[in-house]
């Protein structure tokens, strides 16, 4: 039977000393999701940070054991009782709660996961709850049950082969020029590749390529150096604006920990606007399929690459 009949409850478990060392380091399932992307996760982390840093976890309840990727649900609960949250941060599309005595809770919201802190009754679709020492509860809610949490020793070992952070110091115009030249891949699949650059997904790749005036099928090594450098700046600009707008909400699932939808969808230039006029030139936006993803393009602002003649 797919649906687990039991609920793990260690509300009365004694502090287990946070013995989380020695867990096997394995990557999470290799499946990508449209949301949330970097701006949504960054918004969640920024709002949760003042609520969680310094708080001690008094108890943990797992209401849906499959929400725990590792270790077992029972060990996950027992190892976190008594733990103090030292740091709340993001790596790529994952949120991370670092524990003072060592170890990290790493999570991915997938399609419908939400996190928030409150003191009311248990919400619907509650999958994991953390009782905090100030009487409030951190709730992990997930309608579709795709989201996952894991307790690991080393974040980088758990999330191997993830590229640099696009809002960090490693993404420079010079880096982009060099890395595009070193590869012979179409731009959209390359930017979606988390081993190349962390955190970008379908929405923000489409928006970035439009702002940069680059077609998603253009080959990376054929992008002129100046255009490659401009692409790096566009990535930073689009993501920074999206973070400021608290991400994008175009369905009922994504909400910030404060319960509000994101606002960046109001500024979409191409994503989800197929058949509508480009806000820059008036040309109708076209939807293509690139790398098995719906892809939105203005053919005037983003001219298609010309095939090279065979000599």
Rounded CA-CA distance 80/267 in Å is 41
- For the chain, the distance separating the N- and C-terminal CA atoms, rounded to the nearest angstrom, is 62
- Write the secondary structure of 10-47 as one string of H (helix), E (strand) and C (coil): CCCCCCCCCCCCCCCCCCCCCCCCCCCCHHHHHHHHHH
Give CA 145 to chain center in angstroms: 16
Q: Residue 166 phi/psi, 5° resolution?
A: -70, -20
Contact indicator for 166, 198 with CB cutoff of 8 Å: yes
Positions annotated as catalytic residues are 36-37, 93, 293
- Measured in whole angstroms, how far is the alpha carbon of residue 39 from the centre of its chain? 8
Token couple for 81: 């009782």
Cα angle value 97/103/108 (rounded, 5°): 45
Could you list the beta-strand ranges (E) of the chain: 8-9, 57-62, 68-70, 85-91, 94-99, 104-108, 113-118, 126-132, 137-142, 148-152, 286-290, 293-297
Report the candidate in 202, 50, 31 with the shortest Cα–Cα distance to residue 117.
Answer: 50
- Write out the two tokens for 230: 């401009």
């Amino acid at each position: 039977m797919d649906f687990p009949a039991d609920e793990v409850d260690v509300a009365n478990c004694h502090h287990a000393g946070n013995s989380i060392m020695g867990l096997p380091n394995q990557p999470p399932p290799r499946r990508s999701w449209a949301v949330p992307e970097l701006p949504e996760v960054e918004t969640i982390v920024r709002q949760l940070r003042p609520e969680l840093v310094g708080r001690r976890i008094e108890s943990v309840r797992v209401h849906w054991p499959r929400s725990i990727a590792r270790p077992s649900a029972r060990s996950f609960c027992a190892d976190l009782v008594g733990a103090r949250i030292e740091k709340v941060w993001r790596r790529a599309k994952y949120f991370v709660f670092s524990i003072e005595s060592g170890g990290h809770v790493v999570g991915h919201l997938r399609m419908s996961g939400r996190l928030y802190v409150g003191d009311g009754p248990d919400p619907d679709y509650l999958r994991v709850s953390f009782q905090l020492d100030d009487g409030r509860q951190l709730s992990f809610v997930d309608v579709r049950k795709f989201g996952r949490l894991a307790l690991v020793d080393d974040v980088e070992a758990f999330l191997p082969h993830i590229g640099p952070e696009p809002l960090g110091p490693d993404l420079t115009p010079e880096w982009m020029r060099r890395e595009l030249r070193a590869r012979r891949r179409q731009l959209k699949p390359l930017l979606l590749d988390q081993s190349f650059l962390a955190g970008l997904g379908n929405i923000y790749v489409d928006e970035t390529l439009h702002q940069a005036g680059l077609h998603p099928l253009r080959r990376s090594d054929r992008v002129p150096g100046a255009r490659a450098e401009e692409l790096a700046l566009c990535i930073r600009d689009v993501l920074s604006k999206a973070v400021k707008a608290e991400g994008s909400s175009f369905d009922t699932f994504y909400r910030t920990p404060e319960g509000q939808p994101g606002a960046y969808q109001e500024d979409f230039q191409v994503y989800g606007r197929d058949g509508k006029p480009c806000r820059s030139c008036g040309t109708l936006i076209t939807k293509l399929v690139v790398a098995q993803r719906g892809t939105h393009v203005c053919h005037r602002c983003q001219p298609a690459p010309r095939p090279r003649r065979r000599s």
